[in-house]
Amino acid sequence: MESVRGRRIVLGVSGGIAAYKSVEVCRRLVDAGAHVSTILTEDAHRFIGPVTLSALSSEPVHTSLWDDTSPIPHTRLGQNADLIVVAPATARVLAAYAMGLSHDLLIATLIATRAQVVVCPAMHTEMWEHPSVQDNVALLRSRGVIVVEPQSGRLAGGDVGTGRLADVDSILNAIDNALSGRTRDLEGLSVVVSAGGTREPIDAVRVLANRSSGKQGYAIAEQALARGAQVTLVTTVDRVTLPGITRVDVETAQQMFDAMTAQAEHADIVVMSAAVADFRPFVAAAGKIKKEGGVPEIVLEPTPDILAALGASKRKGQTLVGFAAETSNLVDNAKGKLARKNLDLIVANDVSAEGVGFSHDTNAVTILAADGSCRQVGLSSKHAIATEVLDSVVKVRSAP
């Protein structure tokens, strides 16, 4: 997150159980070199103490318009900020900000700034889906506010639904995008991403599969959405998909082939990050193969080569990104695949390395382009890798 180094960021924390995540957001921003000023609303005090944020941020926490060392704290904070982020942003904060109701230090600061603002809503599903909340979010978006959509999962009351605060990496990536000017650099473009590992049936119970978790593909889809793209995710994985992403569920290589070729037909950018089986059983048993029958002989046949098909049908102006999971000769193998399959970019990783590839939350990659350029990205979160991949896509598309 080089973009935050030396920047002044105001972190607003409002009254929701998700306020505990703001502690990690603050710590990560300070560690990355930002000067972080924190504002704690009165209701936020019920969930997190000011001592915690004062200890982690760059200056003592701010809590009121009236008991601050500055006579006009909202003006000072708002004018000096390079960016303001509110995490969590409750329904009340969204409404007050949309209305311009400056009843406390946080809202007054939001109104008194010309800096980019990022809001990260968090609330119960029924509240998030209420027309008044959706109208306020739409209004704020129309004014240029960046909204980091809440995610689905277990909520504070024990129920499950959309409304939980986005994970820390998603919030940090939105901040990084805003400060580096990537905020809407994929606006108006359609992006298709594949994710997960395919499963090829052996019988009614067993499958041939691989260890792919789909985390990298999901991170790329989420980043593309945050940067303004219209995103379709073709996935084999039962993971939560952010609102705004069109999801196509598949299981086998053939199903992924059919979905990807159909979706890619009108896409501007295609990212083939899924781990597709190279072989499948020639015949899958209709029922369960019983061990009493002895060790079965499974005859394999090749699966369709999705990436090669996408490369062969690539339209002028379309950008095609492939992935190469290798255990040896990383760059040479990736270069060969890049040329053979008519790709614009290939993202190669050594899945035998510690913390890299399947199932991990981190990755380390080498990004190779058709023009011969090569960029290495050290061990980072998969959201950070997604940012690097999409930055490379933007660079390719902007080249003369």
What pLDDT, on a 0 to 100 scale, did the predictor assign at position 399?
A: 86
Average pLDDT of the segment spanning 203-208: 94
Distances (CA, A) of 200 to 271, 284, 302: 22, 9, 11
Length of the chain, in residues: 400
What pLDDT, on a 0 to 100 scale, did the predictor assign at position 197?
A: 95
Average pLDDT of the segment spanning 239-258: 92
What pLDDT, on a 0 to 100 scale, did the predictor assign at position 198?
A: 96
Which residue of the set 136, 173, 210, 349 is catalytic?
210
Active site residue 210: yes
Does the pLDDT of residue 272 top 90, yes or no?
Answer: yes
What pLDDT, on a 0 to 100 scale, did the predictor assign at position 390?
A: 95
What pLDDT, on a 0 to 100 scale, did the predictor assign at position 384?
A: 83
The pairs formed by 76-80 with CB atoms below 8 angstroms and a separation of 24 or more are 77/10, 77/37, 77/39, 77/109, 77/112, 77/113, 78/10, 78/108, 78/109, 78/110, 78/111, 78/112, 78/113, 78/114, 78/115, 79/112, 79/113, 79/114, 80/8
Percent of the chain with pLDDT over 70: 100
pTM, whole model, 2 decimals? 0.74
Residue ranges of domains in the chain: 2-180, 190-286+297-398
Does the pLDDT of residue 183 top 80, yes or no?
Answer: no
Average pLDDT along the chain: 92
Q: Cis check for the bond before 88: say yes or no (omega within 30 of 0).
A: yes
Does the pLDDT of residue 301 top 90, yes or no?
Answer: yes
2-180 and 190-286+297-398: identical CATH topology: yes
- Report residue 242's pLDDT band, with 50, 70 and 90 as the boundaries: confident
**Which of 82-91, 113-122, 172-181, 386-395 has the least mean pLDDT?**
172-181
3-state secondary structure of 116: strand
More confident residue, 69 or 174: 174
More confident residue, 47 or 383: 47
**Identity (one letter) of the amino acid at 139?**
L
- Report residue 190's pLDDT band, with 50, 70 and 90 as the boundaries: very high
What is the end-to-end Cα distance of the chain in Å, rounded?
28
Taking each helix axis from N to C end, the angle separating 168-180 and 215-226, rounded to the nearest 10 degrees, works out to 40
> Rounded to whole angstroms, how far apart are CA atoms 233 and 246?
6
What pLDDT, on a 0 to 100 scale, did the predictor assign at position 17?
A: 92
What pLDDT, on a 0 to 100 scale, did the predictor assign at position 263?
A: 97
**Which of 115-129, 164-178, 250-264 has the least mean pLDDT?**
164-178
Q: Into which CATH architecture does domain 190-286+297-398 fall?
A: 3-Layer(aba) Sandwich (3.40)
**Which of 15-29, 40-54, 148-162 has the least mean pLDDT?**
148-162
Average pLDDT of the segment spanning 264-272: 97
More confident residue, 240 or 328: 328
Percent of the chain with pLDDT over 90: 74
Does the pLDDT of residue 243 top 90, yes or no?
Answer: no
**Which of 189-193, 342-346, 355-359 has the least mean pLDDT?**
355-359
Q: What does the block give as tokens for 272?
A: 């083939």
The topology under which CATH files domain 2-180 is Rossmann fold (3.40.50)
Kindly report the backbone phi and psi dihedral angles of residue 251, in degrees, each rounded to the nearest multiple of 5, phi listed first. Answer: -130, -50
- Report residue 96's pLDDT band, with 50, 70 and 90 as the boundaries: very high
What pLDDT, on a 0 to 100 scale, did the predictor assign at position 381?
A: 82
- Report residue 184's pLDDT band, with 50, 70 and 90 as the boundaries: confident
Does the pLDDT of residue 65 top 90, yes or no?
Answer: no
Q: What does the block give as tokens for 304?
A: 């369709």
What pLDDT, on a 0 to 100 scale, did the predictor assign at position 256?
A: 98
